[in-house]
Structure 1
Amino acid sequence: MASIKLSVERLTEGLYVKLPLQWTDHPFLLNHFKIKDQQQIRLIKNLGVQYVYLLPEKSDTTPLEPNAPVESMSEQESQFLDKQAEKLWQEKQSRIERLKNYKRKIHRCEKNFDRSMSQLRAIVSKIQSRPLTAIQEAEFLVEGMVDALMESDNVALHLMNDNKECEDIYFHSLNVATMSMMLAKSSGMPADEIKTIALGALFHDMGKLKVPTAIVRKTTPLTAPEENYLKLHTKYSLDLANLAKNFPQGAKNILAQHHELLDGSGYPQQLKGNEIDLTAQLIGVVNAYDNLCHPQDPSTTRIPNNALSYLFKNKKAQYNSDYLALLVRLMGVYPPGSVVQLSNQQLGLVISVNSDRLLYPNVLIYDPSVPSNEAPILDLEESNLKIERAIAPNKLPENVYVYLNPRVRISYYFDPDD
C-alpha cells in the first residue's frame, strides 16, 4: 500500500499514519494507526519528528492544507496533554517490560521442550533393545511433565520453534502427550490419571518403528496391503508395552484403542461408543488433530484453525464430542501456529493461547519497521484489537512469510503462567 511523506503540521483526526521510529521509541501501541484525537497529534509532535507517512487508503479524511492556522491551546489544556503523554509513556514502558518477561518465559519453555525432546529421543533409541529401561525413563519424563503441569491453575500453550532436526515420531508423540495432558487436566482428571494418559500418548505410535519406513513415510495413497501393515502398529506398540510388567493397563488401552472410532469404523477391533476406553477416546481426538496438521502428504496439510473446525463440524460421529469441545477450548479459536489478520488489517502469528481467554491470544506482529527478532508480541485483550480471520501461510507475501516464519511443523509445549 503506497504511503506519502507528510509534515506533522498537517496532521488531523482520521488520518492513518505510520511513524518513522522504532517501536520502542514512542508511546503508541503500534507503529502505524489511525489518529483518533488531538492528544495523539500532540504526542506525535512531541516526539521530535518532522514528518510521518500517510496511508490515504486507510484514512477517513484528508490532511490539513499547508500553513493552515493552528488552533491555539490554553496552558491548562497543554498541561493536561503533557500528563496524558507521560501516562502513555509509562504504560508503554510497562508493556515493553511485560514483553521482555514474556520472551523470557518462552525461552524457558523452549528449554523445557528441548530437554523433553532429548529425553524422548533417548527413550526411542532404547525401545526395542532395552524396553524396560525405555519405559522407566518414559515414566520419569512423564512424572516431571505432569508435576510442572499441575503446579499452576493457569497454564498457557506455546508454539515452539521447529528448527530441531528430529524424526516426525518425536514431534508427534510429544505434541500428542502435551495436548492430551492439558486436555486431561482441563477435564478435571487427577495427576495419577494424567500420568497414565501421558505415558500412553508417548508410546501410542512406537509400534510404527516395526513398520517399514517406506510405508510410514509414504506420501501417496497406501495400497490395501500397506494400509493393513500400518494398522498393525497398534499391536506392535502393545507388544512393546507388554515387555514391562509394570506398564499401566490404562496406558495399554490407549495403545490398543487410539484408532477406534465411536461409529465402529476404526481399528483394530471396530469397537463402538462406550466399548472404547475414555482415555483412548481423549488421545484419539488429539491424535486426529495433530495428524491433520502434519499429514504424510504435505499437500493435504490443514492450518490449525481449519483442522479444529474440520473435526468439530465433520467428525462428531467418530470422536468424543466433549473432548472435541475441550480441545477447542484448550487450543483457542485460533490455535498457536495460526497466521491471522487483525481488525486493523495487520498480520501476525499466534504464538500462545490461554484457555481462560480464547479470543485474546498472544500474537507476534508483522511490522517491517521493526527487526523480526524484536517484533512486538501483543496481548489482544490489552490492545483492543481482534482477529478477523486465519490465513494459510502459503498465501502470504514472501517478505511477510520470512518475517513471521510460520512453522511447517507445528510443535506445542506448555508453561505455567506464573
Structure 2
Amino acid sequence: MSDTQAQFIDVDELRVGMYIYLDLGWIGHPFALNNFKIVSDAQIETIRSLGLKRLRWSPERSDLETPTADTSAADSTPAATSLADERRQALLAQRLSLERCERDFSDATRVFRDILKLATSQPEAARERAETMVGALVDKLLDQGDSFIRLISEQAGEKSSLHAINVTLISLLLGKSLGLDAATLNQLGLGALLHDIGKIALPERLRWRDEGFSAAERNLFQQHVANGVELAVRMGLGAEAAAIIAQHHEYVDGSGFPRRLEGEALTPGARIVGLVNHYDMLCNPANPVAAITPHQALSLMFAHSKKKFDAAILSAFIRMMGVYPPGSVVMLTNDRHALVVSVNSSRPLKPRVLIHDPRIPRDDALVIDLEDQPDLGIRQSLKPMQLPRAVFDYLSPRQRMCYFFERAREPGSPRGAR
C-alpha cells in the first residue's frame, strides 16, 4: 500500500480491528510482521509502548465494529486479552496440528511396512490392508474440503516407507485437484502405494536406481516392474491400480521403461503417479547429496523434462504445489528468511511459512499464513547452503521431504484461524 492510500492516526486512538503499519525495522518491535490487523487490547498497549506518536492505518483493510446506541460501555469494550495468552493458544494449536499430521504419517508408514510383509505370503490380506488404508485417506481428503500440503519431519515414520507414502499422498491430492471421483481416487491411491511393490524381490542395494549401475544391474532394477505386475495379479488388484504398477516408469514421450509406451497408451493414473514418483525421487534420491530443493525440482521438470509428462497433469501439479512447494527455503519481500511449511492446494501462491526471528526460540516460532498478509510475499527461492549458519540452524531445512495433508481451515473459522 502506498502512503497516499493510507491514513495516519494517533496511537491513543487505536482500536481493535484496525489494520496498521509499523514503519520500523523488524527488530524494532516484537511482532512477527510490520503490518497486521489489531486483534486485542494487549497488542494496542504493546504498540503504544514502542514510543510512536502516530502510525499509518488502512480503513479499507480494517474491520471495526460500530457499537449500537443501547450497548453498554462494558459491552462495547473488548475484554483485554493477554498477547502472551494469544500466542500460547496459537502455538498450542500449531503444535497439535503438526502432531496429528506426524502421527497419521507414522501410522501410514507402519501399515505399509505390514503390507510389504504380507505381500508374498498372504497377497489377498495385503490387498485388503492396502484398500483399507487408501480408503481412509481418500475419505479424509474428500471430507475436509481445501487441504494444506504439510511438510513434516523425516523422523515421523518408517524410513523404508517414506517414498511410497509421499507418492500416495501427493498423487491423491493431485487426483482430487483434477476432479477425480472417490472410486477413481481409491484405485489411484492403491496403485501409488504399491507402485514399487516389485522391489521386494530385489537385493537391498538395487532397490534405488543409481546412475552407477552396470548394464546387468540396470536390467535387474527394471525387473521390479514385472515383479510388481505379477504381485498385483496375485493380490487381486483392480485393472487401474495394476496398470499404474506396470506403467509408473513410462513417460508420454516414449522414453520410459519397460515398454517405452507413449501418450494415450499410458492410463491417466499412471501418468499421475509417474510424474509424482519422478518429483519425489528428485527431492529424495537414494544419495541425499544429490537431492535438490522442491522449487528446483519443479523448475527442472518444467524447463527440461516437460515432454516426459502429460501437459495438463504437469500444469495441475505445479498449480497445486505452488511455485514454492513445502520444504522450500525462501527470502521474503521484507528481506527475512523463511521455510515454506505448507501450501493450500487451492491457493498455492500464498503458502504458510516459518520465519527466522532470532528473538524467538525456534520451538516457539509461529507459522505465518501469507494468505492473511497481503503486503508480504516471497521474493525468491534459496538453496539451503546459501543461508547464514544461524539461519540454517533455526529453519532446519529438511534433508528428506515428507508430506501429509491437513484441513486448510476449520468450517466457519475466521481467515486467520489455524
2:119 paired with 1:127 = yes
Per-residue displacement from partner, 1:77-130 (whole Å, max 9, x unpaired)?
xxxxxx9xx99x979676774554343222222221121121112112222222
SS at the partner of 2:307? Answer: coil
In structure 2, give the amino acid aligned to 1:377.
V
The residue that corresponds to 2:102 in the other structure is 110
The residue that corresponds to 2:299 in the other structure is 309
SS at the partner of 2:253? Answer: coil
The residue that corresponds to 1:16 in the other structure is 25
The residue that corresponds to 1:6 in the other structure is none
SS at the partner of 1:140? Answer: helix
**How far did 1:311 drift?**
0.8
Q: Contact 2:106–2:158 at 8 Å: present in 1 too?
A: no
Task: Please identify the structure whose Cα radius of gyration is greater.
Answer: 1
- Output aligned runs, 1:134-153, within 5 Å: 134-153=126-145
The residue that corresponds to 2:181 in the other structure is 190
For residues 258 and 217 of structure 1, the distance between their equivalents in structure 2, rounded to whole angstroms, comes to 15
For residues 240 and 232 of structure 1, the distance between their equivalents in structure 2, rounded to whole angstroms, comes to 13
Per-residue displacement from partner, 1:131-171 (whole Å, max 9, x unpaired)?
22111111110111111011022111101111146334x11
For residues 189 and 235 of structure 1, the distance between their equivalents in structure 2, rounded to whole angstroms, comes to 27
Q: Which runs of 5+ in 1 are unaligned?
A: 1-12, 35-41, 51-69, 73-82
Task: State TM-score, norm by structure 1.
Answer: 0.79
For residues 146 and 24 of structure 2, the distance between their equivalents in structure 1, rounded to whole angstroms, comes to 40
- Output aligned runs, 1:217-236, within 5 Å: 217=208, 221-236=212-227
Q: Which moved more, 1:210-219 or 1:398-407?
A: 210-219
**How far did 1:261 drift?**
1.2
SS at the partner of 1:324? Answer: helix
| CA distance 1:71–1:18, shift in 2 (3 Å) | closer
Q: Contact 1:364–1:404 at 8 Å: present in 2 too?
A: yes
For residues 174 and 405 of structure 2, the distance between their equivalents in structure 1, rounded to whole angstroms, comes to 12
In structure 1, give the amino acid aligned to 2:97.
K
In structure 1, give the amino acid aligned to 2:32.
L
Q: Which moved more, 1:388-397 or 1:267-276?
A: 388-397
| CA distance 1:375–1:229, shift in 2 (3 Å) | same
2:395 paired with 1:386 = no
- How many residue pairs end up in the alignment? 358
For residues 240 and 26 of structure 2, the distance between their equivalents in structure 1, rounded to whole angstroms, comes to 59
Q: Contact 1:220–1:297 at 8 Å: present in 2 too?
A: no
SS at the partner of 1:198? Answer: helix
Per-residue displacement from partner, 1:240-276 (whole Å, max 9, x unpaired)?
11112x3111100000011111111111111111111
Choose the corresponding residue for 1:342, options 332, 337, 352: 332
In structure 2, give the amino acid aligned to 1:136.
E
In structure 2, give the amino acid aligned to 1:134.
A
2:233 paired with 1:242 = yes
For residues 372 and 185 of structure 2, the distance between their equivalents in structure 1, rounded to whole angstroms, comes to 33
- Output aligned runs, 1:195-206, within 5 Å: 195-206=186-197
2:147 paired with 1:155 = yes
**What value does the CA root-mean-square deviation take over the aligned residues?**
2.9
Q: Contact 2:176–2:185 at 8 Å: present in 1 too?
A: yes
Q: Contact 2:91–2:364 at 8 Å: present in 1 too?
A: no
**How far did 1:238 drift?**
1.0
For residues 218 and 278 of structure 1, the distance between their equivalents in structure 2, rounded to whole angstroms, comes to 24
